[in-house]
């Protein structure tokens, strides 16, 4: 069924029972409007023309062939698989003793009725306040669309459990039509006193991957979450990560964003002594864009956040980071920072960095900075004089630039290095 046809059908009927917590009218109002473009602040560095100009179809049923599932089963161990946006228990290889529980969202809400009160249910939840006083809901278009099209999967870390081994979340895509919109919706709940590491890997997609993740880190919990995107050759990705952090809890978020990919990150430090450490690498090549919007809102007292980004633009491409820090009234003792460094590999490449502060409390510490530069020719000359080829010298310098912040998660460092090396090989293609 075509997306527009499906939306029009919903306008004349009620939502299915599993989604009664959603504000049907508010969500349909937003997704009936025009898709965000350069006129929307959070989307001015990412072209949405290809999304607007395509007649998208909805993947309403899980119709994955068994031979494809068998093919995926030989991939990374200790993994939770999503194929075409649907959780696949058959393809997954999660250890039974892992202290991880997986539910459909509807089953989880039936078990925990109060949980629906903290989920995304209305575009107003993440609307942006403009200087004019208007609450702009346009940036929530893609979140609203996902909530409408996906039923959701909950990954729960049990209370007071420490999981030492990294859990992989794999997004794989079968050979579906290029006009299909895929909507993975993942909710991660770290219960009180737990500690876990997740590594999300999104494979190349030939269609539109519109993903949403909601992360809830309860009191005294610690979550490391790494989101790694492989090169996207013909498709497009729009992704949203919304994180809610409670008292004495900590989030370590690491992002590798690639071409034709837009990441929208919103972190809420809700309680006292909540912490968020965010670092990311933004890569782009050819004529494509790689764009990240990251907003951290300090609500609890003595909350802390740190954003550290590295951007690399090659050929005619563009990288962008819009990092926003909001310190609410009464969030006394908050400490927040943002810093980005951009590396341009030739004269036609561009990069955009916009730190933004909105501070409504006096007793806080906030700082920000951004820098831009090119490869140091003196360093290249020095390495060449020591017998290192120019191409290898450039790769070494780029590695050093990236390693300033790090990305790897313990057991899976080789995967991250391989993806970055693949980018180096790509930019050297003629």
| pLDDT, tens digit (0-9, with 9 covering 90-100), for 293-345 | 999 999 999 999 999 999 999 999 999 999 999 999 999 999 999 999 999 99
Residue 387 domain flag: no
pLDDT tens-digit readout, 268-279: 999 999 999 999
Task: State the pLDDT confidence band at 411, using cuts at 50, 70 and 90.
Answer: very low
What are 200's two structure tokens?
């999300």
Examine residue 400 and state whether it is found in any structural domain, yes or no. no
- Residue 253 inside a domain? The answer is yes
pTM: 0.94
User: Looking at residue 9, what is its pLDDT?
Assistant: 82
Domain that holds residue 181: 3-376
What's the rounded Cα separation, in Å, for the pair 315 and 116? 46
- What confidence tens digit (pLDDT) does each residue in 157-208 have? 999 999 989 999 999 888 678 899 999 999 999 999 999 999 999 988 889 9
Looking only at the bridges linking them, the beta strands covering 208-217 and 236-245 are parallel
| Confidence at residue 72, expressed as pLDDT on a 0 to 100 scale | 54
Return the pLDDT at 61. Answer: 63
For 142, the token pair is 């893609």
Output 153 or 407, whichever has higher pLDDT.
153
- What is the tens place of the pLDDT at every residue in 80-131? 999 999 999 888 988 777 899 999 999 999 999 999 999 999 999 899 988 8
Model confidence at 64: pLDDT above 60: no
The answer to whether residue 130 is domain-embedded is yes
Average pLDDT over residues 237-254: 97
Burial class (CB in 10 A: 0-12, 13-18, 19+), 1: exposed
Q: Name every residue whose Cβ is closer than 8 Å to that of residue 389 and which is 6 or more positions away in sequence.
A: none
pLDDT of residue 400: 86
Residue 260 CA: distances (Å) to CA of 82, 229, 317, 406 = 21, 10, 10, 23
Q: Are the C-beta atoms of residues 228 and 257 closer than 8 Å to each other?
A: no
With residue 401 as reference, give the H or E element that holds it.
helix 390-403
Is 320 a member of any domain? yes
Assigned domain for 395 exists: no
Residue 423 domain flag:
no
> Looking at the 3D structure of the chain, how many domains does it have?
1
Q: Give dist(CA 403, CA 414) in Å, integer.
A: 14
Residue 413 placed within a domain? no
């Amino acid at each position: 069924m075509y997306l527009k046809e499906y939306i029009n059908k919903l306008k004349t009927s009620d939502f299915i029972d599993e989604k009664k917590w959603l504000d049907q009218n508010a969500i349909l109002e937003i997704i009936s409007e025009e898709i965000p473009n350069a006129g929307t602040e959070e989307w001015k560095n990412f072209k949405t023309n290809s999304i607007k100009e395509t007649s998208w179809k909805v993947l309403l049923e899980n119709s994955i062939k068994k031979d494809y599932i068998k093919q995926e089963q030989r991939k990374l161990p200790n993994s939770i698989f999503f194929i075409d946006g649907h959780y696949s228990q058959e393809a997954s290889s999660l250890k039974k003793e892992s202290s991880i529980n997986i539910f459909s969202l509807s089953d989880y809400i039936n078990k925990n009725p109060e949980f629906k009160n903290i989920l995304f249910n209305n575009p107003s939840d993440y609307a942006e306040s403009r200087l004019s006083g208007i609450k702009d809901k346009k940036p929530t278009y893609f979140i609203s669309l996902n909530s409408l099209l996906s039923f959701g999967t909950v990954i729960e870390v049990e209370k007071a459990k420490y999981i030492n081994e990294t859990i992989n979340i794999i997004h794989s895509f079968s050979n579906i039509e290029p006009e299909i919109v895929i909507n993975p919706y993942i909710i991660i709940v770290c219960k009180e006193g737990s500690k876990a590491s997740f590594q999300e890997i999104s494979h190349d997609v030939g269609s539109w991957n519109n993903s949403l993740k909601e992360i809830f880190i309860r009191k005294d919990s610690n979550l490391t979450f790494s989101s790694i995107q492989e090169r996207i050759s013909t498709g497009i990705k729009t992704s949203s990560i919304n994180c809610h952090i409670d008292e004495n809890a900590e989030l370590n978020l690491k992002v590798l964003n690639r071409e034709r990919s837009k990441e929208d990150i919103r972190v809420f430090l809700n309680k006292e002594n909540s912490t968020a450490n965010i670092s990311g690498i933004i890569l782009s090549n050819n004529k494509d864009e790689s764009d990240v919007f990251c907003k951290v809102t300090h609500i609890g007292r003595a909350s802390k956040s740190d954003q550290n980004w590295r951007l690399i633009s090659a050929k005619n491409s563009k990288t962008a980071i819009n990092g926003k820090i909001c310190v609410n009234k009464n969030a006394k003792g908050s400490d927040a920072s943002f810093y980005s460094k951009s590396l341009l590999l030739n004269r036609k490449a561009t990069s955009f960095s916009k730190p933004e502060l909105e501070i409504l409390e006096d007793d806080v510490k906030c700082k920000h900075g951004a820098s831009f530069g090119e490869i140091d020719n003196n360093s290249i000359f020095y390495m060449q004089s020591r017998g290192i080829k120019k191409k290898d010298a450039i790769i070494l310098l780029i590695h050093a630039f990236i390693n300033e912040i790090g990305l790897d998660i313990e057991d899976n460092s080789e995967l991250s290095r391989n993806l970055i090396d693949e980018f180096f090989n790509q930019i050297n293609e003629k």
